[in-house]
Amino acid sequence: MIDTLLWLILVFALSAIPLNLAVKMLSGHSTLLRVVIVNIIVAVLTFAINIYFTPIYSLVISLFALLFVYTIMFDLSYFRAFLAWILQVVIIVVVWAAFLYLFSIRLF
């Protein structure tokens, strides 16, 4: 039980690092704890939205909910919140590509 909780905390903390970097690049106000809390809030909101709406509507509503949470929690405009979301994805892709290249792991 406690090991599952520790793994969950570790996963949320590691997934928060790219978002923290993206928000700091866009001159938002963030700390690692705040970013972990935002990730949890967005996960719960997305789960709740997916229960009540069809997949295409839930995707759009979840995106707007994510942008709203980013604007409130990080003191960003909607455009900068969108850029932070895109930049987070780019950072994750670059880190994974470097990791795969570093350890010579072939995907195909």
Q: Which long-range contacts (CB under 8 A, 24 or more apart) does 39-44 make?
A: 39/12, 39/15, 40/12, 41/69, 41/73, 42/66, 42/69
CA–chain centroid gap for 4, Å, is 21
Name the strand (E) or helix (H) holding 32.
helix 32-52
Q: Give the pLDDT confidence of 34-69 residue by residue, as tens digits.
A: 999 999 899 889 889 989 999 899 999 999 999 999
Give the predicted TM-score (pTM) of the model: 0.83
pLDDT of residue 4: 77
Supply the mean pLDDT for the chain: 89
pLDDT of residue 18: 94
Q: Quick one: what percent of the chain has pLDDT higher than 90? A: 58
pLDDT of residue 104: 84
